[in-house]
Structure 1
Amino acid sequence: MEKFRIPAMRYRGLVEALQAEEIDFIDEAKEFYPLELVPSLEMTPYPHQSEALVAWKLAGRQGVVVLPTAAGKTYLAQMAIQSTPRTTLIVVPTLDLMHQWYAHLVAAFPDAEVGLLGGGSRDQTPILVATYDSAAIHAEALGNKYALLIFDECHHLPTDFNRVIAEYAIAPYRLGLSATPERTDGKHADLNILIGREVYRKRAEDLAGKALAEHEIVQIKVKLSQLERERYNQLIQTRNDFLKQNRISLGSLQGWQMFVQMSARSQAGRRAMLAHREAKEIALGTDGKLRILVDLLAEHFPARILIFTADNATVYRISQELLIPAITHQTPVKERHEILTKFKEGKYNTLVASNVLNEGVDVPAASIAIILSGTGSTREYIQRLGRVLRKGNVENKQAILYEVIAEDTTEERTSARRRGDNSPQEEKHKSGKLKVIYGTGKKQDLKAAEQLEINYSTQNKDVTNGVTDSSPKRRRNHPQET
């Protein structure tokens, strides 16, 4: 007997096509099933959460929602799970996030079985929280067990290693969450295929004073000392002479890659690369930044403050000179947990960190963030801002992000790139007008979305078990049962 095969991701399209033609079929592919979820943790959603859920439903329960850090993406996911009550896989980038999601879901659905995949755990439960690494390793075994996939920080998905999580899955419903889905390699375009198109987006400015704290972003420029300036200019000249001689421009990734390659081929190239690195160290670690830092700490005492740098050396220097607890990737897990706990409880007022607090750490008590140095990544910038935007229990919270940069150095261009500004001039960002972006640009409402509620009938005669939004005729033949 002749047989045909299709990729797992095409499962939903095939089932819908067979249903549309009213062709009888037996489905032996799926092992997912309906759940009875009774939430014990319910809150009145913010308007943007309700709008995002509606937009996702209108897109057939497939798509990416872009919300700033601290805007309530976890609760939005809970709303999506409640409205799509089937076996669910949640994929997250870090172990810290995995445990945060687990704690939230256990509190939200105490009667449901919630498990973990990663960090030594290999549970097999109807609701499973997994790291990207573990989910990718077990992608084939997980592929037919879950009807709803939720990808937190979904910009991690379109890599050669992680994408199999989506490709090997027959899940008809998919939700991607991120504050910054864009990737420098352009692979964020693959999210349209792996999860679905972008269905909703909000910026931090849109939600200020509503779901997020009112905030302002202040840039402070620091002048290098005379000795620092003379040495910096000398080093930059050495680097630029080499770049000019070899016709290399650092304005693109290809230019930087060429610089790295050429620096390994000659003595002059090595000198140019060493000069570039030393000049960068001067700009990042100028003593002027530490003086500004001391002033800011004194001005905002006893507010809880997060200090971010681009390198561990500056973290440890600040920690030793100012007696401030430090967290880097070298900090043991238990020590990091203890430091964060004491910060949340108010025993510590200030923390200094490199990159480990950029993603997946909940620190709602902080109201001031100080960036002493960083990369040109917009994602890193938005994530650092998000560390202080969560309102918590503070009424009329006013958050401030200080960006301290060395004047007339390459840091100005780096700052402009991460802020999406073509001119590195000092500015304060204030709340803009509310901007709602639906994927289609057409006005949609809750009533229209509710018409697309899924049919999760548990009748044995329904061989597809209602895996997709069926045609109106099919919905009439199989009423909902809970």
Structure 2
Amino acid sequence: MELLTEKQWAGVYRSGDQNLFKDFYTPALKTAVRYDRAVGFFSSEALVSNLQGISGLVKNDGKMRLIIGHPLDEKEFEAVKQGYRLQSLVASFEEKLSSILENLEAKAGARFSLLSYLIAANRLEIKFALRKRGMYHEKIGVVYDAQENSLVFHGSANETIYALDAGYNAESISVFRSWDQHSFDLYGKPYVEGFELLWEGNQKNTVTVSVPSTFYEAISNKFPPTQDGKPQVEEPSYEDEYNSFFGADGDFNRPRIPESIGGVAFSIRDHQKQAIRFWAQNQYKGILKLSTGSGKTITSIYAATKVFEARSKKDLKTVLIVSVPYQELASQWVKNLALFNIRPIECWRNRSAWYDDLKHEILDLKMGVIDFLSIVVVNRTMEGSNFQGLIAQLQGSDVMLIGDECHNHGAKKTNNALPDCYYRMGLSATPYRSDEDEVESPFPEIAKEYINKYYGGIVSEYSLGDAIHDGVLCEYEYHIVPVYLTEEEQEEYEHLSSEIAKLITFMHGSKESSPSNELTRLCGQRSRLLGSAENKLGALEQLVKSIPRAERKHSLFYCGEGRASQQEDMADLRVIDEVSRVLGLAGWHTSRFTSNESSRDRASIMENFKNGTIDALVSMKVLDEGVDVPVCDKAFILASTRNPRQYVQRRGRVLRRHEGKERANIYDFVVLPTNDSAHSQRLKEAELERVDDFVLLAINRLEVERQIETLGIRSAK
């Protein structure tokens, strides 16, 4: 085994002159039997970067002690010092670790596998150092060889992968050798003693906490150690080791156009090129109204990559922020961005999972350590003061905002949270439609004004018909499933419609400028009545029993949000519960996919759906926006929505191209009245608006038109 004394060590390593990874960490840990490390903060970069060279430690049967710093304000620190709120703090660390482990790349995962071995062999201990008035900044490392020679290093390396690559920063570390006794006693020994004080919990103004066993278990469960003992550790050349960690070009998180996606040579389509060209001509602002499934996401990432390339040539910094409504959609964006070598900070879940990472990358950007920063944020997090406080430090001229499902940005609070930036691109198949469109407002939609004021209006359109004609989306058959209201439901519908009409008449003559709470309540109640019409369940049962088992897979069921029956004894049963029950009795294997399921459960459910373990997903609204399931070929729309955004999205969800998928089938449960009153006629008109939209592009249009005539729906116009 090599010794530390056998190599010449510089007194200072500067990343402008040397590569910290190749020239220091790897050769030092190649000799190590013990390794003590104290780092500044808890992040994915800090964990991964401090596993550099760890293969040498494992090969030598070495041990490691790791201290991770964490900042607390004065009140938090005093509470922890008195023994309060420690559990919740540790729980937040575990949640962040879980997030880090879920999103590790393969290269980083290899190092975590070695870390897992150290855990299994009881050769790793981790502690947190909690300190008030800012985080634990002092970075200390001590490497011991087999003869107890030690090498102490200390300095400003910022524990990110950028700090390990000479191309990204001007950081440095100072190195002290124990065999140079005079200088070591003066400078190195105090750091060794400082580490021990910190480890034992005797450091002033610092609380040191051992991590619970569950912390280690999370790593071991994610990366189980090998059954036959120590993993075989091959010692690669410095260049191979370096390239395997950073990539051969050292271009982590630097956007580039992929050569292929999914094994198919990548090229952007004509309608995507045109959309980007129109957006650029509009001073890099505007909404791309592209149909669901026509490649909005890829179009926008391609545009962002081109913006980065152009700005990079001028030595300008670029920040990409992607705003999305839901976590599932956020996770999907992360995967799509990775295709273009973009690794965003994921700003959702708990604040502790993203805040420190974002804070430090913004600092790196401002200091010139990096020239590109990417962020995916859910709207709710974007609206919060923590996120707003950080992005306020960015120069608007450097920032590009991609607003996915930008119709959600018509809400005043969300709109106000959007960054004041130069590059603005909105994405939506229905830019001016929101979930509130069920409300019959007599006033102009102010949301449209908010959206247009920010994005500058629609600059490019690509319709569903265009996408089907060009072969971007598949063809579909449309099937009407007529459902008649019961006598009680008809009476309730007439009553609610009359009350809504009276209220709208009153509001026309008043000084009100927006729908009243009462109007919103009444419209919502009527919408839920139609969505939960009792006869839908009987029609559903008859239909699903008629579909052969071999044709049941990859089906989506969209349910209404009301209760399943107007009867008091069934008041607690939601429509989604009853639909699931009917499907189960008919022999279908289904799973609910709603906001009540955890993100992890939804990911598992979606995987089982895609591989055919379950036949169908039963949902309400979670599948409406952006969730990518091209394998779907059947949609059953039981939610009788008047909202074009919802039914346009739901149709687009099953029209995406997939291998072996020739066409899709859409079953629309159309609610019909039982009399010819004025309100009943308006119900037919409302249903016919959706039916006509679906019929227009259906390949069985003539057949459906005959059914419409037989049902007497067309007479409504």
- Identify the TM-score tier after normalising by the shorter chain: 0.5 to 0.7
State the distance in 2 between where 1:413 and 1:276 align.
13
Q: What per-residue deviation string (whole Å, max 9, x for no partner) do you get for residues 165-198 of structure 1?
A: 33x52x2211111111114533123223212221
- What is the match of residue 559 of structure 2? 309
2:376 partner SS: strand
Which of 465, 478, 493 lines up with 1:217 in the alignment? 478
State the distance in 1 between where 2:481 and 2:518 align.
31
State the AA in 1 paired with 2:667.
Y
Q: Does 1:141 align with 2:390?
A: yes
Q: Does 1:430 align with 2:697?
A: yes
Q: Does 1:387 align with 2:647?
A: no
State the distance in 1 between where 2:425 and 2:657 align.
25
State the distance in 2 between where 1:262 and 1:54 align.
41
* Aligned residues of 2:344 and 2:374 also touching (Cα < 8 A): yes
Residue 155 of structure 1 deviates from its aligned partner by 1.3
State the distance in 2 between where 1:274 and 1:129 align.
32
Aligned length: 377
The 3 A distance-change label for structure 1 pair 280 and 392 is: closer
Which of 319, 322, 325 lines up with 1:93 in the alignment? 325
- What is the match of residue 642 of structure 2? 376
Q: Does 1:204 align with 2:464?
A: yes
The 3 A distance-change label for structure 1 pair 425 and 213 is: closer
Residue 288 of structure 1 deviates from its aligned partner by 3.5
The 3 A distance-change label for structure 1 pair 341 and 62 is: same
State the distance in 2 between where 1:107 and 1:44 align.
13
**Equivalent residues in 2 for 1:257-336 (5 A)?**
260=518, 280=530, 283=533, 285-295=535-545, 297-298=547-548, 301-311=551-561, 313-323=574-584, 324-336=590-602
CA RMSD, 1 decimal: 3.7
- What is the match of residue 307 of structure 2? 84
Residue 159 of structure 1 deviates from its aligned partner by 2.0
* Aligned residues of 2:291 and 2:464 also touching (Cα < 8 A): yes
* Aligned residues of 2:531 and 2:561 also touching (Cα < 8 A): no
Which of 334, 355, 359 lines up with 1:102 in the alignment? 334
- What is the match of residue 186 of structure 1? 446
* Aligned residues of 1:315 and 1:353 also touching (Cα < 8 A): yes
- What is the match of residue 379 of structure 2? 132
* Aligned residues of 1:88 and 1:147 also touching (Cα < 8 A): yes
Q: Does 1:340 align with 2:589?
A: no
Q: Does 1:176 align with 2:442?
A: no
The 3 A distance-change label for structure 1 pair 98 and 418 is: farther
* Aligned residues of 2:255 and 2:340 also touching (Cα < 8 A): no
Higher helix share: 2
Q: What per-residue deviation string (whole Å, max 9, x for no partner) do you get for residues 207-243 of structure 1?
A: 115111112433232345xxx3x33344445556767
Structure 2 unaligned regions, length at least 5 = 1-252, 261-265, 309-317, 362-372, 438-444, 563-573, 585-589, 700-717
- What is the match of residue 231 of structure 1? 488
The 3 A distance-change label for structure 1 pair 303 and 259 is: same
State the distance in 2 between where 1:79 and 1:273 align.
41
State the distance in 2 between where 1:328 and 1:316 align.
12
State the distance in 1 between where 2:425 and 2:391 align.
17
State the distance in 2 between where 1:239 and 1:155 align.
28
The 3 A distance-change label for structure 1 pair 57 and 294 is: same
- What is the match of residue 403 of structure 2? 151
* Aligned residues of 2:287 and 2:426 also touching (Cα < 8 A): yes
State the distance in 2 between where 1:190 and 1:203 align.
24
Q: What per-residue deviation string (whole Å, max 9, x for no partner) do you get for residues 340-386 of structure 1?
A: 11001111122211122111322111011010123211111111112
TM-score (norm 2): 0.47
Which of 39, 52, 55 lines up with 2:257 in the alignment? 39
* Aligned residues of 1:289 and 1:372 also touching (Cα < 8 A): no
Residue 322 of structure 1 deviates from its aligned partner by 2.1
State the distance in 2 between where 1:88 and 1:217 align.
40
- What is the match of residue 282 of structure 2? 59
Farther-moved stretch of structure 1 (214-223 vs 146-155): 214-223
**Equivalent residues in 2 for 1:455-474 (5 A)?**
none
State the distance in 2 between where 1:89 and 1:274 align.
34
1:208 partner SS: helix
* Aligned residues of 2:559 and 2:576 also touching (Cα < 8 A): yes
Q: What per-residue deviation string (whole Å, max 9, x for no partner) do you get for residues 23-68 of structure 1?
A: xxxxxxxxxxxx9533335422222111111111221211110112
Structure 1 unaligned regions, length at least 5 = 1-34, 264-271, 433-482
* Aligned residues of 1:236 and 1:275 also touching (Cα < 8 A): no
State the distance in 1 between where 2:525 and 2:410 align.
36
TM-score (norm 1): 0.68
